[in-house]
Amino acid sequence: MSSKISRRNVLASGLSLGAASLLPAYTLAQSKTLVAATFPGTWNEAHRAILKPAFEKRTGASITQSIILGQDQVSRLIAAKGSQPPFDVAIFDSPQVLDAVKQGLIAEYPVAKSPNYKDLLPEFQDKWGPKISMQVIGIGYNPKKITTPPKSWKELRDPKYKGRVGLTALNSQLGIAFLAELNRLNGGSETDFEPAFKALRELLPNVGAIGANLGAYATLWQQEQIDIAPYNFNFVQTLKGKGVPVELAIPESGPVGWFTSMHIVTKAAEPDLAMAYIDTHLDPAVQAAMMKPPFDVIPTNSKVKLEGAITQSIAKSHAELSKIRGFDWEKLNPQRSALIERFNREIKL
């Protein structure tokens, strides 16, 4: 046999290589792998450590958890419209759910087939996909520099914090939520944001840094570049876990927040597994495990007794949890683009 490489030889091996690249689709279908989106940071860690093993034990299938931000998930699902979506389970914050429903990106959740769904507190039930947790915002502060916890959003304007206040750009959920809350407290409405921007202009002399994204924002705290700023309960818990001096104070005007929910994507490759995955997230044992530090994920199942850091600053009971104020994303969403633009103009140096 000659070992010379003939053109025919090369062609044949080339073709078989091409055919092999089509094969993974087959093998995937046989061993059943679910692809689920997850958020970066704490969420990803909690999902890998707790949800993944629980799901694999329950179904025997395997799971790929892919880290994608909510807005990016929407973009990717839009881009894949009409063909096989890049993942089966989406994880969204409240505002993206509205966009996703409008664009037909997510399917209705089979409520009747999901055993844990009925145990959710009523606020957390949703036919487009159950709410798996809440994000609550308050005033983050450095306890080394600020010994009395701030009591109101107005304190950010205190001249003694000149150059020590941080903000985040409006492309993050935290940024939009803070602006909306500022607007409400200063007498604005969903159609009139002038009060918020007026308050922002008054706040600017105190602002030392504006993080372009949440990653950069976390660095501002780590480097002690800022001492006081709007922040989110779960981010504070994560940073605290890493030894960063930061605490969250809930202002007297009360905690505000938004929901985080999971959804089965339209035309998902594995809709039944997707449902099982989401239902596992609603399981009281799973939610109780995620409530423990360092995750501190706020539970939504009525069978989970509230414990730990959540009861210290956010809610002592399910009744209090239900009372946390939300935002009218239906009205806020269409203005997002205009708000981002206006924010950029007003804060630009």
Partner 1 sequence: MRFSESQLALPLAALFVTFFVAPLSVLVALSLVTEQGGNTFTAVHYIKFFTDSFNYSILFETLLLGLKATGVCLLFGYPIAWIAARAKARWQSVLIFLVILPILTSVVVRTFSWIVILGRQGILNQIVLGLGLSHEPVQLLFTEVGVVIVLAQVQMPLMVLPILTVLTRVDTNLADASRALGAGEWRTLWRVTLPLSLPGIVAGCILTYSACVTAFVTQTLIGGARLIYMPLQIYQQAIGANNWPFAAAISVIFMIAVLALISLFGMFGRRV
The least CB distance from residue 159 to partner 1, in Å, is 16
CA distance 120 to 131: 9
CA distance 169 to 175: 6
The least CB distance from residue 32 to partner 1, in Å, is 32
The least CB distance from residue 38 to partner 1, in Å, is 18
Q: Please, which residue, 194 or 341, has the CB nearer to partner 1?
A: 341
State both tokens at 348: 């630009």
CA torsion through residues 248, 315, 234, 258, sign: negative
Angle value at C-alpha 27, between 26 and 32, nearest 5 degrees = 105
The least CB distance from residue 165 to partner 1, in Å, is 13
Q: Please, which residue, 72 or 202, has the CB nearer to partner 1?
A: 72
Q: What is the DSSP string of 94-161?
A: HHHHHHHHHTT-BPPP-GGG-TTGGGB-GGG--TT--EEEEEEEEEEE-TTT--SPP-SGGGGG-GGG
Q: Please, which residue, 220 or 276, has the CB nearer to partner 1?
A: 220
Q: Please, which residue, 96 or 287, has the CB nearer to partner 1?
A: 96
Q: Please, which residue, 143 or 208, has the CB nearer to partner 1?
A: 208
Asked if 131 and 123 touch (Cβ cutoff 8 Å), the reply is yes
The least CB distance from residue 12 to partner 1, in Å, is 19
State both tokens at 119: 């145990």
CA distance 142 to 224: 8
The string over 292-310, giving b where at least 16 C-beta atoms fall within 10 Å of a residue's C-beta and e elsewhere, is eeebbbbbbbeebebeebb
The least CB distance from residue 260 to partner 1, in Å, is 19
List of residues contacting partner 1 (CB under 8 A):
71-72, 74-75, 78, 99, 163, 167-171, 208-213, 216, 219, 223-225, 336-337, 340-341, 344-345, 347-349
Separate counts of helices (H) and strands (E) for the chain = 16, 9
Q: How crowded is the C-beta side of 94, counted as CA atoms within 13 Å? A: 24
Scanning the structure block, which residue is given the tokens 């008054």? 202
The least CB distance from residue 212 to partner 1, in Å, is 4
Q: Please, which residue, 172 or 300, has the CB nearer to partner 1?
A: 172
The least CB distance from residue 96 to partner 1, in Å, is 10
CA distance 135 to 235: 9
Q: Please, which residue, 295 or 329, has the CB nearer to partner 1?
A: 329
Q: Please, which residue, 306 or 347, has the CB nearer to partner 1?
A: 347
Q: Please, which residue, 240 or 342, has the CB nearer to partner 1?
A: 342
Q: First vs last Cα of the chain: how many Å apart?
A: 76
Q: Please, which residue, 7 or 57, has the CB nearer to partner 1?
A: 7
The least CB distance from residue 319 to partner 1, in Å, is 36
Angle value at C-alpha 326, between 193 and 119, nearest 5 degrees = 165
User: Phi, psi (5° rounding) for residue 270?
Assistant: -130, 70
The least CB distance from residue 334 to partner 1, in Å, is 11
